[in-house]
């Protein structure tokens, strides 16, 4: 069945800084994702705190929000059949050390915090995250 979905992807500061934007977009395109919307922005820490609110009780929350707001990021809406799970698979495990061969985090991730990409983890969160960055 063709379950067309949209998901939010972020190329994080560590990857933008290393000029990996085009290589990572190419990996999405090869897997059949369409990039419907994209913009390169730098966000305030307060916005990162809102975006990552689900993690506010975690020990890494403060560093995570400092990090996401530390430099330019590329936010994108990706579309394909089963895009949410497909993107999670293509990204690989949160810790690049555990990420499978052929995944973005295996190829480009530096560490668990500098892991190059973000992707929505559910239909509900994809909607919330797309609205967060692209609400007109």
Please list every residue from 17 through 56 that binds ligand UDP, using CB under 6 A.
55
| Site size toward ligand UDP, by CB under 6 A | 9
| 54 neighbors 135 (Cβ within 8 angstroms) | no
CA-CA distances (angstroms) from residue 70 to 4, 14, 36, 73?
Answer: 33, 9, 25, 9
Please list every residue from 87 through 126 that binds ligand UDP, using CB under 6 A.
94, 112-113, 115, 118, 121
| 67 neighbors 114 (Cβ within 8 angstroms) | yes
Candidate residues 46, 56, 60, 98; the one interacting with ligand UDP per rule CB under 6 A: 60
Any idea which residues carry the catalytic annotation?
118
Question: In whole angstroms, how close is the CB of 136 to Mg ion at the nearest point?
Answer: 25
Q: Which helix (H) or strand (E) holds 63?
A: helix 61-68
Q: Which of ligand UDP, Mg ion, none does residue 113 bind (CB under 5 to 8 Å by kind)?
A: ligand UDP
How does 65-102 read in b/e, with b if 16+ C-beta sit within 10 Å? bebbbbeebbbbbbbbeebbebbbebbbbeebeebeee
Question: In whole angstroms, how close is the CB of 121 to Mg ion at the nearest point?
Answer: 5
Question: In whole angstroms, how close is the CB of 31 to ligand UDP at the nearest point?
Answer: 17
| Site size toward Mg ion, by CB under 5 A | 1
Q: Which helix (H) or strand (E) holds 41?
A: strand 34-41
| Residues near Mg ion, by CB under 5 A | 121
| Residues near ligand UDP, by CB under 6 A | 55, 60, 64, 94, 112-113, 115, 118, 121
């Amino acid at each position: 069945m063709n379950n067309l979905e949209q998901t939010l992807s972020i190329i994080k500061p560590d990857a933008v800084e290393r000029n990996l934007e085009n290589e990572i977009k190419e990996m999405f395109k090869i897997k059949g994702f369409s990039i419907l919307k994209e913009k390169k922005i730098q966000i305030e820490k307060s916005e990162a705190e809102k975006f990552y609110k689900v993690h506010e009780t975690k020990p890494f929350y403060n560093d995570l929000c400092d990090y996401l707001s530390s430099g330019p990021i590329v936010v994108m809406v990706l579309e394909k059949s089963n895009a949410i799970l497909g993107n999670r698979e293509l990204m690989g495990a949160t810790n690049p050390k555990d990420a499978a061969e052929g995944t973005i985090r295996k190829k480009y991730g530096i560490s668990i915090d500098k892991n190059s990409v973000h992707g929505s983890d559910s239909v509900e969160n994809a909607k919330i995250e797309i609205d967060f960055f692209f609400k007109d």
